[in-house]
Structure 1
Amino acid sequence: MKTTKDNILQEGLLEQYVLGELDATQEKSIEQLRMSDKDIANKLDSIERNFEKIGLENAIAPPAGVKVNLLTKVSNFSESVEEKPNSYKLWLGIAASFATFLLLGSLWLYSELNTVKEELDIVGNQNEALQKDLEGLTKSYNETNKWYTAISNPDTEQYILRGNIQLPDAKIVSYVNHTNKTVIINTQKLPELDKDHDYQMWADVDGEMIDMGVIAKDKSLMAMTYIDNAESLNITIEPAGGNDHPTVERLISNVYLD
């Protein structure tokens, strides 16, 4: 895949380059861009300085035992050389010991940088999840406030539809506003139906039943279609998805409007 300046910046490849997480082809592309593109070079310098600062601020010293063991080995090596003097071997051993110590420190720092990077990713994911939760709460609050405003409107009238002998436990509270031409119903006390049937609401206008909509199974508050000059509200049980005319023998509740 060709590594361009745009996808380098968009996909965070500069950070991965500094952490040594790219393959040889990508590293070569970035190194070439670093030499030819001043903007890329400046960004890389900045990222390296920031990572170095993070590493130093969060650095954890290697376990004390590493230093103690290293110094002990150096001391033992020195005593051995005193018995068989050889200055070249002495300094070679000391240099190798300190090189090992520096290598351990570098590996430790690299590990800490990766840990910091992982923690930053976790914090970013947590912030994103919190933002989604906040958006969900805001949406829920706005929805609740909308229903409350409609129901508490002085022009809104409340009508209760109680279940008949077919469904005596049913109870639907309807809120009708003739000024705003809205109908809202509370279906919390409607018994649950099987998947093959739905409740449907009808308005009686001069003896004709007009469809007001199918009552959703997953909502406790919902708006129905307002019908002008309705004399009563009626609820029937219909096949899933609703019907184009009411099944009168399956009428379970009705109420007359004032």
Structure 2
Amino acid sequence: MTPNDYIESGDLELYVYGLLSESESEEIAKIAKKHKEIDNEIIAIEKAIVNISTSFSPFLSVENFEKIKAKLDLKYSKVIPMETQNNRFRYLGWAAAAVLLIGIGYEYTNLNKTQMQVVTVEGEKVKLEEALVNSEIKYKQTQDALAVVRDVKNTVVTLGGQAVSPTSYAKVYYNKETQVVYVDAAGLPEPPEGKVYQVWALKLNPLTPTSIGLLDDFSKDSQRLFAVSKANGAEAFGITLEPAGGSVSPTMEQLYTLGKV
């Protein structure tokens, strides 16, 4: 084989990486002594490995690589005997192994980053889905509220504030045909903890209150429009503040709003 055949065969790279048998390595070492171009090619391959290793220096010991390069530079200026060739081969094997380990670490780091990005994207997807559901719920609530307000069959009953809370107010949308009742409680303050607003349908003569519902989840309903039970022949409506769970009869001292149909 000619020197060019050795260079193009790929055996020199295998020689540098220590993948040839002992006899094959000895053969190439002998040929390198005879042919300068083969020896130069081996040196070029070794330098390439050192340069690659050095490019990853933030992850490796700078001191160790400087020692390796110093020894290699010292050998390049002399005739390379067989034993020195083996030492050089050993150093380059270490460098090649270091490059391989760094490459694996780099790929592992990238894999972790990719997995974290996938988790982040999935989290954002869940948030967007939740936001979409909330938007749809709010849209339906708005449509329901508009339907109640615009229904010409509803009688609007204004409930004014009473002694316990003169500034409070509310509205009742009452369909006398279907007996359906909606309460707009936007004018009521937040109920204290452990308390709940209770809605009463009243008959006036004699005064007979009938509970038609509690305004539960008051703070969670931003529109404060509540559907309560039907009111059969109601002549007035009132809202009182009661203990959680409601009361059998209204606490008149806690009457917040009252209005006649």
TM bin (shorter chain): 0.5 to 0.7
Matches within 5 A, 1:199-238: 199-205=197-203, 207=206, 208-216=208-216, 217-218=218-219, 219=221, 220-238=224-242
| Structure 1 residue ranges without an equivalent (≥5) | 1-60
* TM-score, normalised via structure 2 length: 0.63
**Larger RCO, structure (CA 8 Å, separation 6 or more):** 2
Amino acid at match of 2:113: T
Residue 102 of structure 1 is matched in structure 2 by 100
Distance in 1, Cα, partners of 2:53 & 2:118: 23
Q: Is the CA contact 1:169–1:191 (under 8 Å) kept in the aligned structure 2?
A: no
Residue 44 of structure 2 is matched in structure 1 by none
Aligned length: 196
Residue 171 of structure 1 is matched in structure 2 by 169
Distance in 2, Cα, partners of 1:71 & 1:213: 81
| Structure 2 residue ranges without an equivalent (≥5) | 1-51
SS of the aligned residue for 2:107 comes to helix
How far the C-alpha of 1:193 sits from its partner, in A, is 4.2
Q: Is the CA contact 1:62–1:105 (under 8 Å) kept in the aligned structure 2?
A: no
SS of the aligned residue for 1:188 comes to coil
Instruction: Spell out, residue by residue over 1:131-184, the C-alpha distance to the aligned partner (whole angstroms, 9 max, x if none).
Output: 122212222222222222222222222111101334311211111123443211
Instruction: Spell out, residue by residue over 1:64-94, the C-alpha distance to the aligned partner (whole angstroms, 9 max, x if none).
Output: 4649x79976653333333773222222222
Distance 1:102 1:236, change over 3 A: closer
Give me the identity figure in percent: 22
Q: Is the CA contact 1:185–1:224 (under 8 Å) kept in the aligned structure 2?
A: yes
Residue 47 of structure 2 is matched in structure 1 by none
* TM-score, normalised via structure 1 length: 0.64
- Mark the structure with the bigger radius of gyration: 2
Amino acid at match of 1:243: S
Q: Is the CA contact 1:162–1:172 (under 8 Å) kept in the aligned structure 2?
A: yes
How far the C-alpha of 1:245 sits from its partner, in A, is 2.2
Matches within 5 A, 1:114-193: 114-193=112-191
How far the C-alpha of 1:240 sits from its partner, in A, is 3.8
Q: Is the CA contact 2:53–2:98 (under 8 Å) kept in the aligned structure 1?
A: no
Distance in 1, Cα, partners of 2:193 & 2:69: 83
SS of the aligned residue for 1:140 comes to helix
Amino acid at match of 1:123: V
Distance in 2, Cα, partners of 1:223 & 1:187: 11
Distance in 2, Cα, partners of 1:163 & 1:214: 18
